[in-house]
Amino acid sequence: MTNNEPANYFDFRKTLSKNKLAGMLRMMTGYRMTYLAANATLAISATAKTLTYLLLRNFADTVVGNTVPFAGSFSRTLILIALGFVGLAMVEGGFAYLSSRMASYSAENITRRLRNFLFDQIQRLSFAYHSKTPTGDLIERVTSDVDSVRAFFNDQAIGVGRIILLFIINFIAIWILSWKLALVSIVAVPVIVLVSMWFFKKVTKAYEAYQEQEAKLTTTLQENLTGVRVVKAFARQNYEIDKFETDNWGKFLRGRTLVKMQSFFWPLSDLLCGFQMLAGFIYAGILAVHGEITIGTYPAYVGLVVWLIWPMRNLGRIIVNTSTGLVSYDRLMEIVKQEREPLTTGTAKVNGPVRGDIIFEKVSFQYEDGGSEVLKEVSFHIHPGQVVALLGSTGSGKTTLVNLLPRFHEYTDGHILLDGQELKEYPREFLRKQIGIVEQEPFLFSRSIRENITYGVGHNVSQEEIEKAARAAAIHEVILSFPEGYNTLVGEKGVTLSGGQKQRVAVARTLLKDPRILILDDSTSSVDTETESEIRNALNGLMGNRTTFIIAHRIQSVMKADLILVMDKGCVIQMGRHEELVEQEGMYRQIYDIQTRIDEELEEEIASA
Ligand code: GTP
Ligand code: MG
Instruction: List, as one string, the DSSP characters of 203-215.
Output: HHHHHHHHHHHHH
DSSP string, 81-134: HHHHHHHHHHHHHHHHHHHHHHHHHHHHHHHHHHHHHHHHHHHHS-HHHHHHS-
pLDDT at 345 over 80: yes
pLDDT at 541 over 70: no
Distance 571 CA to ligand 1 centre (A): 13
- Listed residues: CB within 5 A of ion ligand 2: 399, 440
Distance 399 CA to ligand 1 centre (A): 7
Look at residue 71 in the predicted model and tell me its pLDDT.
Answer: 63
User: Closest ligand 1 atom to the C-alpha of 403?
Assistant: 11
For 421-466, the pLDDT digits (tens) are 999 999 999 999 999 998 888 899 999 999 999 998 887 889 999 9
For 175-194, the pLDDT digits (tens) are 988 899 999 998 888 888 88
pLDDT at 298 over 80: yes
396 lines ligand 1 (CB under 6 A): yes
Look at residue 1 in the predicted model and tell me its pLDDT.
Answer: 36
Look at residue 542 in the predicted model and tell me its pLDDT.
Answer: 66
Distance 600 CA to ligand 2 centre (A): 28
Domain assignment of residue 450, yes or no: no
Q: Are 39 and 73 part of one and the same domain? A: yes
Q: How large is the average pLDDT for residues 57-84?
A: 76
Using pLDDT thresholds of 50, 70 and 90, give the confidence band for residue 604.
confident
Ligand nearest, relative to CA of residue 567: 1
Choice from 367, 393, 553 to test ligand 1 binding pocket (greatest atom count within 8 A of CB): 367
Look at residue 401 in the predicted model and tell me its pLDDT.
Answer: 95
Q: Are 322 and 403 part of one and the same domain? A: no
Q: Are 291 and 371 part of one and the same domain? A: no
Domain assignment of residue 344, yes or no: no
Q: Are 164 and 214 part of one and the same domain? A: yes
DSSP state of 199: H
CA dist., res. 423 & res. 468, Å (int): 32
User: Closest ligand 1 atom to the C-alpha of 393?
Assistant: 4
Picking from 271, 306, 336, the residue at the C-terminal end of a domain is 336
CA dist., res. 404 & res. 373, Å (int): 14
- Contact between 466 and 512 under an 8 Å Cβ cutoff? The reply is yes
For 224-280, the pLDDT digits (tens) are 888 888 888 888 889 999 999 999 999 999 999 989 988 888 888 888 888 988 999
5 φ/ψ angles, rounded to the nearest 5 degrees: -105, 145
Look at residue 111 in the predicted model and tell me its pLDDT.
Answer: 93
Using pLDDT thresholds of 50, 70 and 90, give the confidence band for residue 66.
low
Q: Are 323 and 409 part of one and the same domain? A: no
CA angle 22, 24, 28 (to 5 degrees): 110
130 lines ligand 1 (CB under 6 A): no
Q: In this structure, which residue's CA is closest to atom 20 in ligand 1?
A: 395
Q: In this structure, which residue's CA is closest to atom 3 in ligand 1?
A: 394
SS3 letters across 541-606:
HHHCCCEEEEECCCHHHHCCCCEEEEEECCEEEEEECHHHHHHCCCHHHHHHHHHHHHHHHHHHHH
Domain assignment of residue 497, yes or no: no
218 lines ligand 1 (CB under 6 A): no
Q: How large is the average pLDDT for residues 594-608?
A: 85
Q: How large is the average pLDDT for residues 360-371?
A: 90
367 lines ligand 1 (CB under 6 A): yes
441 lines ligand 1 (CB under 6 A): no
574 lines ligand 1 (CB under 6 A): no
Where does residue 5 fall: left (phi above 0), alpha (psi -120 to 50 degrees), or beta otherwise? beta
Q: Are 187 and 66 part of one and the same domain? A: yes
Domain assignment of residue 460, yes or no: no
Q: What is the tally of structural domains in the chain? A: 2
For 123-158, the pLDDT digits (tens) are 999 988 988 888 888 998 999 999 999 999 998 888
Domain assignment of residue 287, yes or no: yes
366 lines ligand 1 (CB under 6 A): no
Distance 395 CA to ligand 2 centre (A): 7
DSSP state of 188: T
Q: Are 434 and 362 part of one and the same domain? A: yes
Return the higher-pLDDT residue of 162 and 446. Answer: 446
Residue 230 belongs to domain with CATH number: 1.20.1560.10
Nearest to 424 by CA among 434, 415, 435, 437: 415
Picking from 289, 305, 336, the residue at the C-terminal end of a domain is 336
User: Closest ligand 1 atom to the C-alpha of 398?
Assistant: 7
Look at residue 249 in the predicted model and tell me its pLDDT.
Answer: 95
Q: Are 329 and 363 part of one and the same domain? A: no
Using pLDDT thresholds of 50, 70 and 90, give the confidence band for residue 46.
confident
Q: Are 41 and 82 part of one and the same domain? A: yes
- Contact between 512 and 453 under an 8 Å Cβ cutoff? The reply is yes
Q: Are 225 and 364 part of one and the same domain? A: no
For 84-136, the pLDDT digits (tens) are 899 999 999 999 999 999 999 999 999 999 999 999 999 999 988 988 888 88
Domain assignment of residue 459, yes or no: no
CA dist., res. 312 & res. 196, Å (int): 9
Q: Which of 296-300, 358-362, 395-399, 524-528 has the lowest mean pLDDT?
A: 524-528
Q: Are 227 and 266 part of one and the same domain? A: yes
Mean pLDDT of the chain: 87
Look at residue 3 in the predicted model and tell me its pLDDT.
Answer: 44
Q: How large is the average pLDDT for residues 379-400?
A: 92
- Contact between 374 and 400 under an 8 Å Cβ cutoff? The reply is yes
Q: Are 372 and 429 part of one and the same domain? A: yes
Domain assignment of residue 66, yes or no: yes
CA-to-CA separations, 290 to 181, 283, 294, 305, 481, in angstroms, rounded: 13, 11, 10, 20, 98
Residue 596 belongs to domain with CATH number: 3.40.50.300
CA-to-CA separations, 198 to 22, 160, 190, 320, in angstroms, rounded: 21, 17, 12, 11
Choice from 126, 372, 374, 519 to test ligand 1 binding pocket (greatest atom count within 8 A of CB): 374
pLDDT at 543 over 70: no
pLDDT at 68 over 70: no
Q: How many residues comprise the chain? A: 609
Percent of the chain with pLDDT over 70: 96
Domain assignment of residue 425, yes or no: yes
Domain assignment of residue 38, given as a range? 21-336
Nearest to 587 by CA among 387, 418, 342, 390: 390
User: Helices 74-124 and 157-177, interaxial angle, to 10°?
Assistant: 160
Distance 528 CA to ligand 2 centre (A): 19
User: Closest ligand 1 atom to the C-alpha of 396?
Assistant: 7
Classified as helix, coil or strand, 607 is helix
The contacts of residue 562 (CB under 8 Å, 6+ apart) are 382, 383, 386, 387, 388, 577
Q: Which of 292-301, 433-442, 525-534 has the lowest mean pLDDT?
A: 525-534
440 lines ligand 1 (CB under 6 A): yes
Nearest to 440 by CA among 398, 489, 495, 498: 398
For 494-512, the pLDDT digits (tens) are 788 888 888 889 989 998 9
Element spanning 422, H or E: strand 421-422
